[in-house]
Amino acid sequence: MMRQVALPSPMEGDTGSASVHALARLVGRPRRTQATALQTAIVVLLAGLAAYATLLRLQTARLWFWIDEGLSVGISSHHLGRIPGLLHQDGSPPLYYLVLHVWMRLFGRSEAGTHALSLVLAFASIPVALWLARSLFGPRAGWVAGLLAATNPFLTYYGGETRMYTLMSLVALVATGAFVHAFAFGRRRWVPVFTVALIALLYTHNWGLFFALGCVAALVPCVLATADRRTIVVDAAIAFGVAAVAYIPWLPTLLYQSHHTGAPWSTVPSLREAISEVSSILGDERVLVALLLTAGASLGASMIEPRSRDGAALLSIGLIFVVPLAAAWLTSQVQPAWATRYFAMILAPVLLLAAVGLARAGALGVAALVLVTLFWVHPLGHITGDRPADRRDEKSNVKAAMAGMAPRLGAGDLVVSTQPEQVPVLRYYLGGGLQFATETGAVPDPRLVDWRDALRRLRATSPEANLYPMVATMRPGQHLLLVAPVLAPTSKDPTWIHLIHQRSQEWEKALGRDPRLRFVTGYGSPTGIVPGTPVYALLFERLRT
């Protein structure tokens, strides 16, 4: 008989098996250690980039005002109750100016003081993006969204500008997240949050109407993805109904603005420009390509199931991005009101979609996230279009120009700007006690730009009809400071820019030939490459005749 050998059981302690397991652990440990080290390195790198982006944002507080910022401070310097009525002459709703008015009462009217408001709003977008994306799509999406909000160059750039764009972005972010919570996932407690955010956006910028249209379109996938459609329809009717009622008081002003103010400085955008503007809010076309190849692929896999809650949520965010963009482009074909900065509104859905897509793209998504943040905060050069400037006059040289001219000006002297929208920033840096005028005549309130039928009124001006009568009212010894923009219009520029350039040349020549005036000094040149929206200035003295 063959002798049977009893094999030891594992319970009895198989030293050979134990050795194999031990060896496997030793082999696997370096791999896990390497993976942990790589993850740690990536986290440290991303944290470093976010910290560097924070420093970039803090540097923007030192930049000097340009045209629009002078207008913001000028409007907000009025009595709180007068601000909504003054905006009949402008083209914006009042919320930002009301907030800025209160902010200036607390922190002053300086560049750094007013930039701080935009900076606070830009920084607030970081935890809001993190929280909303996390609550909607999980922790990984939340951290990615927070990092994108921390390093996005659009928020960095406009975090240093005294305008409403970081407020637009923050409110749109809250509105987008609340919409998805309320209607895609059926969490009814978010309906009031969405309603309040939508009202705030409508009162921040007129493009809020396009955002509201996008939200209406985004209801479709939400309704299709649930069996309880009646609840969604009722909640939506309440939310949009309350927002509409809240907006009614502003509607007459909006209608007046649309007929009389507009944006004469804007052009009719091409289809390519619409795509280019999306790249602009992402800082670089390469970022758009990287996101499409990584985040786009993973999002596509989720969106092919539109009847799932998750698919409906992503589709609704996509519609909140696409529909406002299309609506703004179409309306600008009829009445141009197109500018990169207005796209603050659609930055919110773009960041959320990018965060979800990158979070679900695995290792490729991590690589793309590192690449995108490197593009956004590259410390070695200006590889994106919206980097904070090293020069304080990057946006405008008005402060430097007026610092050179102010000591020569006295009470009652006349400052004539051939670019009407420059008057508020000129008033800011020159102070009070001076008279201000444009081609159309004296400016009764130099803290405000009267955009009502501005192009028609500018066309009707001439030195003979408008300039010479101003000179006639001057006393001997009084000064006239002509401030004109440095322009080199091309065929792509709007009529407004060409007309301002033409009037600037005409008025400069007319003053130079006027025997009642003596040229004293000047600042800058009408030609040359200067950043931002530069000006040059010519100072004349009224002679005895």
- What is the C-alpha to C-alpha distance for residues 432 and 194, in angstroms, rounded to an integer? 43
Q: What is the CATH number of the domain that holds 518?
A: 3.40.50
pLDDT at 10: 41
Say whether both 291 and 143 belong to one domain.
Answer: yes
Residue 84, C-beta contacts closer than 8 angstroms, at least 6 positions apart:
94, 250, 253
Same domain, 183 and 312: yes
Across the range 430-443, mean pLDDT stands at: 95
Q: In terms of domains, do 339 and 451 share one?
A: no
Of 377, 409, 440, the one marking the end of a domain is 377
Question: Torsions phi, psi of 118, nearest 5?
Answer: -65, -35
Number of independent structural domains in the chain: 2
Q: How far apart are CA 17 and CA 196, in angstroms?
A: 66
Q: What is the rounded CA–CA span in Å between residue 163 and residue 205?
A: 11
Pairing of the two strands 479-485 and 414-417: parallel
Task: Answer whether residue 505 is part of any domain.
Answer: yes
456-515 pLDDT, tens digit per residue, is 999 999 999 999 999 999 999 999 999 999 998 888 888 999 999 999 999 999 999 999
| Same-domain check for residues 185 and 145 | yes
Residue 166 in domain: yes
Q: How high is the pLDDT of residue 1?
A: 40
- Count of beta carbons in the 10 Å neighbourhood of residue 79: 8
Chain mean pLDDT for the chain: 87
Say how many C-beta atoms besides its own lie within 10 A of residue 71's C-beta. 25
Q: How far is residue 90's CA from residue 75's CA, in Å, rounded to a whole number?
A: 10
- Higher-pLDDT residue of 7 and 438 is 438
Q: Is residue 257 part of a domain?
A: no
Domain that holds residue 527: 398-542
